[in-house]
Amino acid sequence: MIAKRLFWMRVSRYIKQQWKTVRLIVDWTIFLYGVIPLLIWAGYSYWLIWQGDFDWLRNVPYLLWAILFGWVMWQDRMFVWIERADIVLVSDRSIIRDLKWYSVLYLLVQHVIQYGFYLLLIAPILHMKGGSTVEILAFGSAFLLLAWCHAWIQYQFCLRHAHLMKRVLIVLLAFVGVYALLVESVLLSVLIGSMMVTFALYVGEGWVSKHPNIGREIEIGERERASFDRVLLTTSGAIEKTSERTRPLYRPKPNRFGTVRRTMAILIYFRTPSHRNLWFRLIPLGVTSVILLPSWFKLVVPIYLLYVAYQEQTSFTREMERHPFFQSIQERGSS
């Protein structure tokens, strides 16, 4: 009961923290004018794929789909919901064991939802290539099992600091398994699947009952739980993206690839109601004008939008250069 309560408290806290981070970066206008139209367009395109309007998808080779699914599996991460304060509970192995089981179930549910969504995306393409409903469901189940085994093995390798070649070998093995599923090679699929399941059972033996790498598991869990916030905040420019480059002779200029100061200026520009509303009116007007205007008159619309963008960029840059906050950053950077 204690482990279950701890698990649900941490999951709910994690979800609330992610939602707060999203609300820190975007507001309702992003969802209204960006996410909702994108979902409408994606749903309509998905319906057209089922109708067979995108016939060129039929000619995409299975090798490219296998590479895409291999990249998706490489992005999978597993972690356990154990924190540093739980080290004092190692003497009570039942709590740690229950937390590990709940972590495995959490990852399993996450995988079912995630790869169920991927199956919905690939289903019309498999249907166009002649796959029946039963075959598509069988492919999804086998793909889910393969992805689960891959994530589990990679996690165990990460705990034990396994050699990079072992991790690459498992990725290649999973890639071959996905390709075998796509080309409907039953013998190769069974062979690869049996190897992955056997190896997953081997590397995970005693993981629930024994805790030799509990400190390492806590570090991985903290890093993975913070990865969403870190990626979102660094991408939006709210915090500086740390450089992990190790080349000693490479010294890029600070303003070559963009800085936090520049990104913050862009965010401030689009979060200002007057600037944002200007583009919310200009973009629909430009799209409507391109549809209605005949022949070469359509070129007038992008030229006009580029002119407005240049004028906005020039005036806002001058405004920001006079701002005390950006002046202090400029002085600090020059010193």
Q: Would you list the DSSP string of 283-312?
A: HHHHHHHHHHS-GGGGGHHHHHHHHHHHHH
Residue 27 confidence (pLDDT): 67
Q: Would you give the end-to-end CA distance of the chain in angstroms? A: 57
Spatial contact of 282 and 308, defined as CB atoms under 8 Å apart: yes
Q: Which of 159-163, 197-201, 227-231 has the highest mean pLDDT?
A: 197-201
Distance of CA 300 to the CA centre of its chain: 38
Distance of CA 218 to the CA centre of its chain: 22
Q: Is the pLDDT of residue 332 over 60?
A: no
Q: Which residue has the tokens 């709910």?
A: 12
**Other CB atoms within 10 A of residue 304 CB:** 14
For the chain, the C-alpha Rg in angstroms (whole number) is: 25
Residue of 223, 13, 2 lying closest to 97 (CA atoms): 2
Residue of 281, 94, 291, 100 lying closest to 208 (CA atoms): 100
Residue 264 confidence (pLDDT): 67
Exposed e or buried b for every residue in 65-84, given b needs 16+ CB within 10 A? bbeebbeebeebebbbbbee
Q: Is the pLDDT of residue 255 over 70?
A: no
**Mean pLDDT of the residues in the chain:** 76
Residue 251 confidence (pLDDT): 47
Spatial contact of 106 and 81, defined as CB atoms under 8 Å apart: yes
Spatial contact of 91 and 104, defined as CB atoms under 8 Å apart: no
Spatial contact of 112 and 144, defined as CB atoms under 8 Å apart: yes
Residue 39 confidence (pLDDT): 80
Count CA atoms closer than 13 A to 115's CA, side-chain side.
26
Spatial contact of 106 and 11, defined as CB atoms under 8 Å apart: yes
pLDDT digits (tens, 9 = 90+) for 165-177: 888 888 888 888 8
Q: Is the pLDDT of residue 90 over 70?
A: no
Task: Give residue 6's pLDDT band: very low, low, confident or very high (50, 70, 90).
Answer: confident
Spatial contact of 111 and 147, defined as CB atoms under 8 Å apart: yes
Cα(330)–Cα(265) distance, integer angstroms: 13
Structure tokens given for 236: 């939006």
Structure tokens given for 40: 């409408």
Task: Give residue 62's pLDDT band: very low, low, confident or very high (50, 70, 90).
Answer: confident
Residue 252 confidence (pLDDT): 44
Residue 114 confidence (pLDDT): 87
Listed range (65-79, 193-207, 237-251) with the worst mean pLDDT: 237-251
Provide mean pLDDT across the span 269-277. Answer: 75
Q: Return the axis-axis angle of helices 260-271 and 300-321, rounded to nearest 10°.
A: 110
For residue 79, the SS3 value is: coil
Residue 16 confidence (pLDDT): 84
Provide mean pLDDT across the span 244-256. Answer: 48
Residue of 113, 112, 134, 114 lying closest to 123 (CA atoms): 134
Provide mean pLDDT across the span 54-79. Answer: 81
Spatial contact of 28 and 239, defined as CB atoms under 8 Å apart: no
